[in-house]
């Protein structure tokens, strides 16, 4: 039995996936910023280390998304 050929959902589906992914990434970045500010406000050193680690990972995810999205845009041109 032969495998089915890959389906092409078109640019609309790609834009939808990129938009949803961006929304999730921005929510993570916004939450991490809030978490860093909150832990600094209440002087919670233990929670502050977690908040900073989460902020770094969120920023890395945002930069990865920008790199991925920029690369997919160059391929279409």
Tokens 């920008």 -> residue: 66
Share of the chain above pLDDT 70, in %: 82
* Residue 71: DSSP 8-state: H
pLDDT band at 66 (very low <50, low <70, confident <90, very high): confident
Are the C-beta atoms of 59 and 26 separated by less than 8 Å?
A: no
Bigger pLDDT: 69 or 33?
Answer: 33
pLDDT in tens, 26-61: 898 899 888 888 888 888 888 888 888 888 888 898
The predicted structure's pLDDT at residue 72: 58
Per-residue b or e along 5-36, where b marks 16 or more CB atoms closer than 10 Å to that residue's CB:
eeeeeeeeeeeeebeeeeeebeebbeebeebb
């Amino acid at each position: 039995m032969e495998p089915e050929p890959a389906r092409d959902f078109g640019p609309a589906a790609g834009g939808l996936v990129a938009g949803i992914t961006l929304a999730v990434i921005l929510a993570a970045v916004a939450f991490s910023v809030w978490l860093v500010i909150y832990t600094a406000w209440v002087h919670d050193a233990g929670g502050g280390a977690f908040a900073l680690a989460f902020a770094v990972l969120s920023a890395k995810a945002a930069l990865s998304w920008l790199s991925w999205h920029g690369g997919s845009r160059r391929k279409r041109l």
